[in-house]
């Protein structure tokens, strides 16, 4: 698995990923999601984010360079960052999101100098919550009614991972493959 820059060749799979029901439920995406939206995501959100360093998003690709998903950090303009991840439906259920997010966290703490990373999700998002827990995030009480999508106000789970905790637990939380 590689974390690399997004490419035009990824767009069709990004559209499939963003049309997927789970992604639509848990990520603030336009609906329906079109190829033009994926192109805007690539040119504006991803490349624009790297230009300003406001957001640093990576494509996750397999050994054949096939797009598997995206992981990224949103800068809070200091040494705090927020993590996000979404995977193509056919790349889920194999631990790959956990591995990719762990690599992203290593980059955040080792190279960016992050002091703390925030994770947020719909409180019903069990896969995301499991990943955050496995990677050592300390979860706080969910914010009641704060996760808004499609006219519904769900509870929002959140947690943080501080640098020292990540360093102390680096080996224990490192995915085995």
Ligand X SMILES: CC(C)(COP(=O)(O)OP(=O)(O)OC[C@H]1O[C@@H](n2cnc3c(N)ncnc32)[C@H](O)[C@@H]1OP(=O)(O)O)[C@@H](O)C(=O)NCCC(=O)NCCS
Does 86 help bind ligand X (rule: CB under 6 A)?
yes
Q: Cβ contacts of residue 20 below 8 Å, gap of 6+?
A: 88, 89
Q: Token pair of 137, please? A: 């995030």
Nearest-approach distance from CB 1 to ligand X, in angstroms: 11
Does 130 help bind ligand X (rule: CB under 6 A)?
yes
Taking CB under 6 A as the criterion, the residue among 121, 123, 135, 161 binding ligand X is 121
Q: At what angle do helices 96-107 and 126-134 cross, to 10 degrees?
A: 50
Q: Which stretch binds ligand X (CB under 6 A): 7-15, 46-54, 87-95, 139-147?
A: 87-95
Does 97 help bind ligand X (rule: CB under 6 A)?
yes
Q: Which is nearer to ligand X, 90 or 164 (CB)?
A: 90
Taking CB under 6 A as the criterion, the residue among 73, 128, 135, 137 binding ligand X is 128
Which letter does DSSP use for residue 101 in this model? H
Q: Taking the mean position of all CA atoms in its chain, how far away is CA 124?
A: 17
Does 96 help bind ligand X (rule: CB under 6 A)?
yes
Does 27 help bind ligand X (rule: CB under 6 A)?
yes
CA distance 71 to 17: 13
Does 26 help bind ligand X (rule: CB under 6 A)?
yes
3-state secondary structure of 149: strand
Does 94 help bind ligand X (rule: CB under 6 A)?
yes
Q: Which residue has the tokens 């999601």?
A: 33
Which letter does DSSP use for residue 22 in this model? H
Does 98 help bind ligand X (rule: CB under 6 A)?
yes
Secondary structure tally for the chain: helices H, strands E: 8, 8
Nearest-approach distance from CB 67 to ligand X, in angstroms: 13
Q: Which residue has the tokens 């080996």?
A: 171
Does 37 help bind ligand X (rule: CB under 6 A)?
no
Q: Which is nearer to ligand X, 28 or 113 (CB)?
A: 28
- CB-based contact 157:123 (threshold 8 Å): yes
Report the interface residues with ligand X, using CB under 6 A.
Answer: 22-23, 26-27, 85-87, 92-98, 121, 125-128, 130-131
């Amino acid at each position: 698995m590689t974390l690399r820059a997004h490419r035009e060749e990824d767009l069709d799979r990004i559209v499939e990923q963003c049309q997927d029901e789970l992604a639509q439920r848990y990520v603030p995406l336009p609906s329906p999601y079109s190829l033009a939206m994926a192109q805007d995501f690539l040119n504006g959100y991803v490349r624009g984010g790297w230009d300003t360093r406001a957001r640093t998003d990576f494509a996750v690709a397999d050994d054949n360079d096939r797009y598997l998903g995206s992981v990224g950090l949103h800068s809070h303009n200091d040494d705090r960052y927020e993590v996000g991840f979404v995977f193509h439906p056919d790349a889920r259920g194999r631990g790959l999101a956990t591995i990719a997010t762990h690599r992203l966290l290593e980059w955040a703490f080792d190279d960016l100098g992050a002091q703390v990373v925030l994770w947020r999700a719909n409180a019903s998002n069990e896969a995301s919550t499991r990943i955050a827990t496995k990677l050592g995030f300390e979860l706080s009480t969910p914010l009641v009614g704060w996760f808004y999508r499609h006219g519904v106000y769900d509870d929002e789970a959140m947690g943080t991972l501080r640098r020292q905790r990540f360093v102390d637990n680096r080996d224990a939380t490192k995915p085995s493959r």
